[in-house]
Amino acid sequence: MAMAKKKSKLKQIEFTPKLYFAVRIRGAPGMRKKIMDTLKMLRMHKINHGVLIWGTQSYKGMLLKCKDYIAYGEIDEKTLIRLLRVRGKVEGNESLTEEHIKNLTNYKNFRELAKALLNGEIQYREKFIYKIKPIFRLHPPKKGHRGTIKKHYNEGGTLGNVGIYINELIHKML
């Protein structure tokens, strides 16, 4: 006797994932192997390395797994433009310029590239942007981190999902 499967009545809601920026705050001593592997998959090999991450379900799970070692939140357009201009690099470790953007992408300047990244038109993948490095090597923050680096954001520290505070943190680290 075979039973028929019920069809799901839930409709697939289409949404554009948000663009997150994640920065590694703490180092490796005492870190579990699974968390270290997850940080390597996110391309955060060293302290103060930041990456742009899409808010898809799989990436959100990775961020939650590493929340005790990183700070992440939604990046805004103004901060993204400044980040690309100041800390963006291309292959050969050269600074990213508007000339590189014109040659390597379909966009003319930093503002158009940032808008396309925020809207989800392009991502840091090989078919879209392949010569621009996806990692941003940042300085330690001026005047230090907010609170301590051993507590989460809502406990008075810097770790975990910091929301829009990530924009202020990035400005302190540029």
Q: Per residue in 107-125, pLDDT tens?
A: 888 888 888 888 877 777 6
Is 7 among the domain residues?
no
pTM of the model: 0.81
Is 67 among the domain residues?
yes
Is 98 among the domain residues?
yes
When divided into structural domains, the chain yields a total of 1
What CATH number has the domain bearing residue 40? Answer: 3.30.1390.20
Is 6 among the domain residues?
no
Task: Say if CB 166 and CB 172 are below 8 A apart.
Answer: no
Is 4 among the domain residues?
no
- Provide the b/e sequence for 15-28 (b: ≥16 CB within 10 Å): eeeebbbbbbbbee
Is 83 among the domain residues?
yes
| Residue 71 predicted with pLDDT over 60 | yes
Q: Which domain holds residue 49?
A: 16-174
Is 162 among the domain residues?
yes
